[in-house]
Structure 1
Amino acid sequence: MAPRKAPQYDDYRVAAQEIILSSSDNDYLDQLIPALKDATNSGRTKGLMQSLSQYADAREGDIERIGMTKHEEFLQSVNQLQQVREGTTALTTEILKLNQSIQSSTEKLAAQKGALVDTSAVRQNIAEASEALRESLKVLHAVNQAHDLIRKKQYYAALKALDDLQNEHLIPTIQNKYATQHRLADIIQKSIPASQKAISEAVMSDLNTWLFRIRETSQFLGEVAFYHTELRRTRQKERMEGNPYLQNFKLNSAIELVFDESEEFDVLDNEELQVDFTPLFECLHIHEALGQSDKFRADYAATRRQQKELLLPSSVNLLEDNENSLSSLLEGIAGFAIIEKATTRRAHSLRSPVDVDELWDSMCNTTVKLITKALDQVDNAEVLLKIKGVIALFIQTMDGWGYSVALLDNFLLKLFEKYAELLKKRFSDDFQEIVSSDDYMPMPISDLDKYDKVVSVSWFTPEMPREELTFPCVLPFSQMYPLCCIDIRNFLNQFYFFSDDHFQQPNVIDEALKKSLDELLSEKVCKSLVERLSSQYLGQIVQILINLEHFEIACKELEQLLIAARSSTSAGGPIILDATEEFRSNKKTAEKRIFELVNSKIDDLVETAEYDWMAPTLETEPSNYMQTLIRYLSNIMNSTLLGLPREIKELIYFDALSHAANMILALPLSPSVKKINPNGTAALAKDVSHLSDFVDGLENAPILKENLDELQQTVLLMQTENPEEFYDISIRNKKFGRVDAMNGPQILEKLTYSVQSPTGTRTDRLANFSSRFGMK
């Protein structure tokens, strides 16, 4: 409480009157002490004394006036006064003593009074200071509580505490300029932005730690997501096996998602991985409370772009499974993109879909460039298939999160082109090796198991039931045919492997497969077989013809297989392989080559004929060349040509006999042969008869024997006793109708005996015959 101020006096006469008229000692002192203090403080003590003296004089004057008017009474009074005076004197002495005592007590009391006043003021000050301190402590307690919440990482509560501190304490105190805590409140108010900045920095620090952990766990998150997609694939395949209709619905389709609803799995919160978005949401909430949402969004977007750049390497290794492999890269990208999509779904205002899609497109473009660059090192189709599998798993996973995968789907087309090229090259080498290393002999089979294996992989329909087979046995084709069939099946399977799980353009596979298969069969099989037709070994040529026959059948089967296997998006209608016609047409080439070799052998044998056309004696045995020729024809029929289809075999035999007959017929017609006697004719007739007997023993002899008609009739003409019959048209058509009109006269001209006729010599008749038919 503040000390009470002494009253101010302009004139002490009133004060003196109040002092004298005081009703009690306490009142007297209460009136006297302020007047003394004022006189002392103002230096007007004489004025006070003068006022008191004037008052005393005025009273004495009154007394004298009263004494003069009432003398007796006055004198009486004087006496009384004298007595009183004496008593008063004594009393005055006592009063003086008492006054001194009172004065002494008054001084002590004044001192005590002053001390009391001072104490009251101090106490008031202390109370006011205590109250101010109490209020200040409340403010400081609120400040400390806010900072304590910051240390406990309760940032939003700390921010709320600072806000409450401002609204409840600081602002009202600052607005009251006379408040004791004004200065403290002002200082604290000025420190609020720093505290808010500390909170902002603290949550950003926690967010950066969270972002670092997210970056570290992105690959594992992607791995978990891939594993979950693989499980979904397996479940969908099992459903498709149980219900073929579901084959029309791929992964991530509405039907698949409905079926998979019972298999709930949160890739961000499971037994292996938990991603807590609390630091992110808290940081967003804090910055919204601070009014810094735009700045935070910009900073967060910049940070994520930096993390995206750190995520993408400068190169990728497609051949090894390590931290720099394609799987690791795609898992990291998948984890990063899943976090982005989850952030967008949980905090709509933080990340715009445009920003997320831009990051996704950037990562996809970079990934495609990295893979394209690394593909130059890949020369193995299986590695490419593995790469496609990883990319397909990545596509299906990210498609499920709503990302656009069109760029990756288009890249799979380029990957397929590379894959098809490698497959074609590898199988081209395999076919080349199979064709070049084949022995071109009928394939021997030692037991039933091996037979079943060969039949199962080859397009081959046995003539006999397997139960009736005896082993060892041989199959008509050579070993190259089943080996090529195995390769063809593998080729088909490996082509369609690329469309497993995910490939949006299966019709491209159908077209590429047909084209590649056509080229392989035409260029590497058919063409290679045709090149080997230049061989002089008849058995090899025959085997090539048989192989061509079976390859033609295989091509027809392949056409049906391709129709059944093609996708629903491919164009309908039949599938025609150019290789089918290639094998069919080149069978004719092989047949011609067989004709050439057989006829060449026949030529060689007939050229060894050593007829003595003017032999002095008659030969009793067929010529050696004829016996060898018949033995050769018999051998090729029963061994070399045995595996050929019946119609081809008969055609070859028919042509061989025709050629042999022509070659034998050419012997007597040779210009070197001038004369032929009956013994020479008999030798030729014996050989022709021996050949005719051989043909009689063959299947379809009547048809085959037609090839010998001209030769037999020519020999008959050489043996005739009446050569003039040849010139009689009616007789010639009946007996010598197959003899060439020019050859007959030449043969007759070489015979050693000469027959006269009424119409002239035989030479004349030949000339007439020639002129009749317009011959020179």
Structure 2
Amino acid sequence: MPYAIDPPDELANAVQQIALTSSDADYIDQLVPVLRDVRRSDRANRLVQSLDALAARREAEIEKMCNSNHQEFVSSVNALLRVREGTVELTSDILNLNQSIQASTEKLAEQKKALVESRGVRQNIDEANRALESCLEVLRLANQVHDLLAKKKHYAALRALDELQNVHLREVARYKIADIIEKSVPATQKMIGDAVMADLNTWLYRIREASQYLGEVAFYHTDMRRTRLKERMDKDSNMTKFRLNSAIDLVADEADEFDILNNEETETQVDFSPLFECIHIHETLGQIDRFRHEYAATRKSQKDLVIPDSVRLLDEDEADLSSLLESIAGFAIVEKATMRKMHNFRAPADVDELWQSMCQRTITLITKALPAVNDDEKLLKIKSRIALFIQTMDSWGYNVASLNALLLKIFDKYAQLLKQRFSEDFQEIVSTDDYMPMPINSIDEYDKVVNVSWYTPEKSREELEFPCVLPFSQMYPLCCIDIRNFLNQIYLFSDEHFQRSAIIDDTLRDSLDELLSEKVCQSLVDRLSSQYPGQIVQILTNLGHFEIACSELQSLLYEARSNKSGGSAEIELHATEKFKEGKKMAEKRIFELVNSKIDDLIEIAEYDWTASTPLTVPSNYIQELTQYLSVNMDSVLLGLPTEIKELVYFDALSHAATMILALPLDLNVKSISAAAVKTLSNDVQHLSQFVESLGNPILDENLDELRQTVMLMGSENAEEEFFDVAQRNRKFGKVDNMNGAVLLEKVQQGAAVPVQSPTRTADRFANIGSRFGLNR
């Protein structure tokens, strides 16, 4: 039969399943799920309709079955009625159950809705809690950055900020606080940079303040190295070839390690941690180039603060100069240490530029203050401090060429002051000398004089008897002392700290030449104008010893140069030639004085050329002449060397003979009597006897012309003997032809009889003159 309801749906299927159940339990089990979903009335109605449709189908089936089998049908109808009745009851129960389930379902839905709502709130609360915790962690880290900054832990603060930015802020990126903190990161980074720069500036200030002490420690270390090098030189002569900071010295000094920057003994400790931290932080911030430029500018400005506007060189112990050099040394050492500890941070060109700038400024200050220094000892101390500074900085690899040039300027000043001082000393010694042979009263005094003088005694030390006299005057050993002092003081500048030995040698040579030539030799030569032969003789003796001293000095300077530089060029002092020339001038002056005295004595000769009776005793002038020559040679000229003394004798006798011979040749003498000739002959004989007593045949030869001329004047056959060439050469070979002819004429004029006419006399002289080719 046709269906009375709509086509089956899911409820119909459910009802079909319920109908097919084999037991009540299964029926209930199939019904419960359907009733659980029946919440609305339409679905309940549809369920009822489905059940009704099922019942109708079942009735149709039963009716069909009943048509074929009535009894069975009746039974089935009865059964069906019972089923229907049960179905109605069941339907009622289902409806009741449905209402009950619907009521409980609504309640459950409300509870579930409340539960869902509470779970949403709880989830929101949890999410809010987690977000709050994340934000609090971010805030904690942000505060931690500032706490670390307050504790001066700059790198830790930067690491915390980096962690905050790259990790924690990403976790809270959706919250506004992340944006706020993200925007504050650059400011915080700047705060870290400023804080670390502030600490670095404090460190730089402390370093600048400690630079002087650091330089003082460096100077102390260099001085100790000098001492060790000197000890090695004393033990091994081969070490004298090597200077401080040479490779050999550095190797030999390796055992004595000394860390200037960190040393417990000197209590120095330069901690570069602030700089390391600052560099690391700026590298992390990507600002290392900017920091490098800022650091360079800061050090440049600090360099200007290290060097003052002026320096005093006249203060006691060179405190001002030492402070300046120590400060520069400490500053430069920190720069070099920074460059060595942090590669590629400080450029070598920048460090060298700073160093050269400080050197030039220092050189300018010292050069400006140098003219005020007029004490050579003070200059020596200044040089010593600068040399120590040079050696210290050379050991750190700095270029010290400009400072070596400064030492040359100081040396020039030093040499000028020494030359001025010793020039004054020499002038005083020369002007206050007594120009007498130096008396010696004891062997100790003798040893002192010989040790300081370049003098080789004629007698051995054991043969001397005191008191005695030395040939030179007191000025000679005093000048020798000054010369030695001058040498020593010049060489005081030349030590292992000043590598310009050739310049010192040249300066020493030139200075000695000037002092000896101008201040000693010239002063002695100027005194040759004296009228005292004894003083001239002493000057000549002193000049001779100074000449010897110059030769010794040349050898001494040559040895000193060879020992220092290995040079082989000979050293020549021009003063040696000056002293030789001075000796010649002194000898000439002695000759002049002796001859002048001889001229004075001979000028007082009073010959009566027309006398009729000869004098039986020598004339007064000839006696005084021989006495002068004897006394002068034995006393005044005693100090002359033998060869000089013989030359003086020779020249004096030659001059005396010439002057005596000039007396009868005087134009005012017209005639000479035989008595006058005899008187002249007696005087010449007296002079000859004096010369013979000297025991020198050479001196006696000086009188040959005078003796032969006087013999010619007194000869009876003078005319025949003189005009006969053979006899003249044999007896009168030394007589001048003209002088002989003139004197023979005067003698004949004096011997002529009164009746003799002037005409005949003139004719006779003319004949004599014509025989010798003379014109009257």
TM range (shorter): 0.7 to 0.9
SS in 1 for 2:262: coil
Structure 1 stretches lacking a partner, 5+ long: 1-22, 36-47, 59-68, 82-102
Closer, same or farther in 2 for the Cα pair 1:376/1:351, shift >3 Å? Answer: same
Higher mean C-alpha deviation, range 267-276 or range 513-522: 513-522
Question: 1:421 maps to what in 2?
Answer: 416
Question: 2:443 maps to what in 1?
Answer: 448
Query: Counterpart of 2:331 in structure 1: which amino acid?
Result: F
1:696 matched to 2:711: no
Higher mean C-alpha deviation, range 353-362 or range 761-770: 761-770
Distance in 1 between residues matched to 2:567 and 2:372, nearest whole Å: 35
Tell me, yes or no, if the aligned pair for 2:602 and 2:659 is still in contact at 8 Å: yes
**TM-fit CA distance, 1:704:** 0.9
Distance in 1 between residues matched to 2:504 and 2:531, nearest whole Å: 42
SS in 1 for 2:439: strand
SS in 2 for 1:474: strand
Alignment of 1:173-572 (within 5 A): 173-174=172-173, 177=174, 182-270=175-263, 271-272=265-266, 273-321=268-316, 325-566=320-561, 572=568
Deviations 1:155-210 (A, max 9, x none): 21222222223333222221xx3xxxx33343333333333222222211111111
Query: Counterpart of 1:534 in structure 2: which amino acid?
Result: S
Distance in 1 between residues matched to 2:688 and 2:211, nearest whole Å: 91
Query: Counterpart of 2:653 in structure 1: which amino acid?
Result: L
**TM-fit CA distance, 1:593:** 0.9
Distance in 2 between residues matched to 1:701 and 1:53, nearest whole Å: 185
Closer, same or farther in 2 for the Cα pair 1:323/1:439, shift >3 Å? Answer: closer
Query: Counterpart of 1:257 in structure 2: which amino acid?
Result: L
Structure 2 stretches lacking a partner, 5+ long: 1-27, 50-76, 90-102
**TM-fit CA distance, 1:465:** 1.2
Tell me, yes or no, if the aligned pair for 1:236 and 1:256 is still in contact at 8 Å: yes
Distance in 1 between residues matched to 2:440 and 2:217, nearest whole Å: 52
SS in 2 for 1:358: helix
Q: Percent identity?
A: 64
Query: Counterpart of 1:269 in structure 2: which amino acid?
Result: N
Select which of 751, 754, 762 maps to 1:753: 751
Closer, same or farther in 2 for the Cα pair 1:719/1:409, shift >3 Å? Answer: same
Tell me, yes or no, if the aligned pair for 2:134 and 2:171 is still in contact at 8 Å: no
Tell me, yes or no, if the aligned pair for 1:316 and 1:324 is still in contact at 8 Å: no
Query: Counterpart of 1:422 in structure 2: which amino acid?
Result: L
Distance in 2 between residues matched to 1:617 and 1:379, nearest whole Å: 80
Deviations 1:380-404 (A, max 9, x none): 3333333332222222211111112
SS in 1 for 2:617: coil
Tell me, yes or no, if the aligned pair for 1:156 and 1:286 is still in contact at 8 Å: yes
Closer, same or farther in 2 for the Cα pair 1:114/1:321, shift >3 Å? Answer: farther
Deviations 1:332-379 (A, max 9, x none): 111111111100000012111111111112112222222222223233
Query: Counterpart of 1:167 in structure 2: which amino acid?
Result: N
Tell me, yes or no, if the aligned pair for 1:146 and 1:161 is still in contact at 8 Å: yes
1:138 matched to 2:133: no
Distance in 2 between residues matched to 1:682 and 1:708, nearest whole Å: 17
1:611 matched to 2:607: yes
**TM-fit CA distance, 1:109:** 13
SS in 1 for 2:280: helix
Question: 1:685 maps to what in 2?
Answer: 681
Tell me, yes or no, if the aligned pair for 2:561 and 2:567 is still in contact at 8 Å: no
1:597 matched to 2:596: no
Tell me, yes or no, if the aligned pair for 2:591 and 2:652 is still in contact at 8 Å: yes
Distance in 2 between residues matched to 1:561 and 1:321, nearest whole Å: 36
Distance in 1 between residues matched to 2:546 and 2:583, nearest whole Å: 10
Tell me, yes or no, if the aligned pair for 1:541 and 1:590 is still in contact at 8 Å: yes
Distance in 2 between residues matched to 1:110 and 1:450, nearest whole Å: 141
Tell me, yes or no, if the aligned pair for 2:131 and 2:172 is still in contact at 8 Å: no
Tell me, yes or no, if the aligned pair for 2:437 and 2:474 is still in contact at 8 Å: yes
SS in 1 for 2:469: strand
Query: Counterpart of 1:434 in structure 2: which amino acid?
Result: I
Closer, same or farther in 2 for the Cα pair 1:683/1:590, shift >3 Å? Answer: same
Question: 1:40 maps to what in 2?
Answer: none
TM (norm. structure 1) is: 0.81
TM (norm. structure 2) is: 0.81
1:578 matched to 2:574: yes
Tell me, yes or no, if the aligned pair for 1:321 and 1:327 is still in contact at 8 Å: no
Alignment of 1:53-68 (within 5 A): none
Tell me, yes or no, if the aligned pair for 1:384 and 1:419 is still in contact at 8 Å: yes
Question: 2:651 maps to what in 1?
Answer: 655
Distance in 1 between residues matched to 2:724 and 2:762, nearest whole Å: 15
Tell me, yes or no, if the aligned pair for 2:536 and 2:590 is still in contact at 8 Å: yes
Question: 1:66 maps to what in 2?
Answer: none
Distance in 1 between residues matched to 2:417 and 2:614, nearest whole Å: 74
Distance in 1 between residues matched to 2:768 and 2:675, nearest whole Å: 27
Distance in 2 between residues matched to 1:443 and 1:638, nearest whole Å: 18
Distance in 2 between residues matched to 1:755 and 1:242, nearest whole Å: 104
Query: Counterpart of 1:702 in structure 2: which amino acid?
Result: P
**TM-fit CA distance, 1:640:** 1.5
Tell me, yes or no, if the aligned pair for 2:318 and 2:382 is still in contact at 8 Å: no
Query: Counterpart of 1:514 in structure 2: which amino acid?
Result: R
Deviations 1:570-612 (A, max 9, x none): 8643322222122112211111111110000111111122233
Question: 1:172 maps to what in 2?
Answer: 171
Distance in 2 between residues matched to 1:342 and 1:416, nearest whole Å: 33
Select which of 720, 736, 743 maps to 1:740: 736
Distance in 1 between residues matched to 2:353 and 2:319, nearest whole Å: 24
Closer, same or farther in 2 for the Cα pair 1:573/1:169, shift >3 Å? Answer: closer
RMSD of equivalent CA atoms: 4.3
Distance in 2 between residues matched to 1:552 and 1:773, nearest whole Å: 51
Higher mean C-alpha deviation, range 372-381 or range 328-337: 372-381
Question: 1:670 maps to what in 2?
Answer: 666
Deviations 1:251-288 (A, max 9, x none): 21111111111121111111211111111111111111
Higher mean C-alpha deviation, range 427-436 or range 290-299: 427-436
Question: 1:773 maps to what in 2?
Answer: 772
Query: Counterpart of 2:244 in structure 1: which amino acid?
Result: L
Tell me, yes or no, if the aligned pair for 1:755 and 1:762 is still in contact at 8 Å: no
Question: 2:98 maps to what in 1?
Answer: none
SS in 2 for 1:375: helix
Closer, same or farther in 2 for the Cα pair 1:153/1:323, shift >3 Å? Answer: farther
**TM-fit CA distance, 1:152:** 2.3
1:621 matched to 2:617: yes
Distance in 2 between residues matched to 1:588 and 1:53, nearest whole Å: 166
Query: Counterpart of 2:235 in structure 1: which amino acid?
Result: G
Closer, same or farther in 2 for the Cα pair 1:423/1:696, shift >3 Å? Answer: same
Deviations 1:66-89 (A, max 9, x none): xxx99xx99xx9xxx9xxxxxxxx
Higher mean C-alpha deviation, range 129-138 or range 446-455: 129-138
SS in 1 for 2:548: helix
SS in 2 for 1:261: coil
**TM-fit CA distance, 1:215:** 0.4
Alignment of 1:50-129 (within 5 A): 129=128
Query: Counterpart of 2:152 in structure 1: which amino acid?
Result: K
**TM-fit CA distance, 1:739:** 2.5
SS in 2 for 1:393: helix
Tell me, yes or no, if the aligned pair for 2:705 and 2:734 is still in contact at 8 Å: yes
Closer, same or farther in 2 for the Cα pair 1:228/1:132, shift >3 Å? Answer: same
